[in-house]
Amino acid sequence: MTAPGPDRSRPVQILLAEDNPADARLVREVMRESKILNEIHWAPDGVEAMAFLRRQGKHAGAPRPSLILLDLNMPKKDGREVLHEVKSDPLLRRIPVVIMTSSQAEEDIARAYDEHANCYVRKPIDFAQFHEVVKTIEGFWFTAVELPDE
């Protein structure tokens, strides 16, 4: 008897907090190719990401994401601050956070895990490798992992 897998009858909600429009577009394109039904919500900076997560202003009716893809180097409020706020908030802290950034700084990696990031992925510069990294994240988080309900 096989264990039941994740419920995929409704779209997986993903918050993509990424200031680079080209990277955001690529993530959306890769996820669009997926057999997994998903809906990506893009926040180009940390202030917008937190407004979405807290359902403030124009995001009052926003769905609770099942996963956050978070860049560290964003304007207004960087990903380090967003991660800290998410993991400090009892209403948000169960949402898995995947750090997906170009930073290779050891202190960023250590701090991300100290702040309870679920994983840290360096964004490759090469298009094909970037595509593969996004597919790998998607495959792991949306086929193998049980995500918490809202």
What's the mean per-residue pLDDT of the chain? 83
HSE-up (13 A, CA, CB side) for residue 128: 0
The burial of 119, by beta-carbon neighbours within 10 Å (0-12 exposed, 13-18 middle, 19 or more buried), is given as middle
Domain boundaries, the chain: 12-142
pLDDT tens digits along 91-134? 999 999 999 888 888 998 999 999 999 989 888 777 778 777 77
CA nearest neighbour of 65 among 30, 32, 102, 98: 98
pLDDT tens digits along 46-61? 999 999 999 999 989 9
Q: Which superfamily does 12-142 belong to?
A: Response regulator (3.40.50.2300)
Overall pTM surpassing 0.75 (yes/no): yes
Name the more confident of 48 and 137: 48
- Residue 2: is its pLDDT beyond 80? no
